[in-house]
Amino acid sequence: MDVKGAFDAAARDYDSLRRQLIPCFDPFYDMAVALLPFAPDRPPRVLDVGAGTGLLAERVARRFPAAELTLLDVSQEMLARARARFAADPRVRFEVGDYSQVPLGGPFDAVVSALSIHHLADTDKRALYARVHDALAPGGVFVNADNVRADDPEVQRRDRRAWIAAIKAAGLDEAQLDAALDRTRVDILAPLDLQLGWLRDLGFVEVDCAYKWRHFVVFSGRRAG
């Protein structure tokens, strides 16, 4: 199954299962928003790549009521849920497309992403980070809330076991568990330190990982200027 097919198929139940599938749901998403260094009354221009159903964008919009949001995703089914979430909200634009290929536009004050970029091959991840840097206005920030791979294979296995135990304890039935594990077949996880190094090499400053629970991390960098 390709990434688009996997998420088209998952769109209907995506939101209802998020808290069960992400044991650290609130601190994970809260940190992604907390890393956006804007005054609440400022109207930042924000691009959400791999926006899905708009879970992260909704939190950004709540924190920054004047924000102008662009939601970009390859899955029309996922964006249909986002359109419903933001019905009649003039601040929000929607674009269907593969963010590893289509122009990102800009300049943006922030580019954000949640649980999406880990589906790209490593060379494509790095290339996207370069394009994100170019799409940011001077001083703009990039925030990625995502899954990563541990450098040590045993740590990676331990983290995966802990995640599976947590989602089982959250009450997933067997069909839901099987579907969640099946979707991980399209994951291409890269180590956190490798990705932080890419950001620094590409010219990002203030590069840091602000949150980590097992393989869930939130990291960021800022375009100088």
> Percentage of the chain surpassing pLDDT 70?
96
Domain residues for the domain of 45 are 25-150+187-223
User: Could you tell me if residue 161 is inside a domain?
Assistant: no
User: Rg for the chain (alpha carbons), in Å?
Assistant: 17
pLDDT in tens, 98-121: 999 999 999 999 999 999 999 999
Chain mean position to CA 57:
10
User: Could you tell me if residue 104 is inside a domain?
Assistant: yes
pLDDT at 8 over 70: no
Give catalytic status of residue 119 as yes or no. Answer: no
pLDDT in tens, 122-181: 999 999 999 999 999 999 999 999 999 999 999 999 999 999 999 999 998 899 889 889
CA 125-13-4 angle, to 5 degrees, is: 35
> Catalytic pick from 118, 119, 133, 215?
118
C-alpha span between 20 and 106 (Å, rounded): 35
pLDDT in tens, 175-220: 988 988 998 999 999 999 999 999 999 999 999 999 999 999 999 9
Strand (E) or helix (H) holding 166: helix 153-169
- If one counts the domains in the chain, the total is 1
pLDDT at 29 over 70: yes
Q: Which amino acid is at 176?
A: Q
User: Could you tell me if residue 3 is inside a domain?
Assistant: no
- Which pair of tokens denotes residue 68? 């102008």
Is the Cβ–Cβ distance between 206 and 220 less than 8 Å?
Answer: yes
- The conformation of residue 117, written as its DSSP 8-state character, comes to G
pLDDT at 32 over 80: yes
User: Could you tell me if residue 144 is inside a domain?
Assistant: yes
Mean pLDDT of the chain: 94
Structure confidence at residue 88 (pLDDT): 83
User: Could you tell me if residue 49 is inside a domain?
Assistant: yes
What's the CATH number where 126 sits? 3.40.50.150
User: Could you tell me if residue 12 is inside a domain?
Assistant: no
User: Could you tell me if residue 56 is inside a domain?
Assistant: yes
pLDDT in tens, 37-91: 999 889 999 999 999 999 999 999 999 999 999 999 999 999 999 999 999 899 9
User: Could you tell me if residue 10 is inside a domain?
Assistant: no
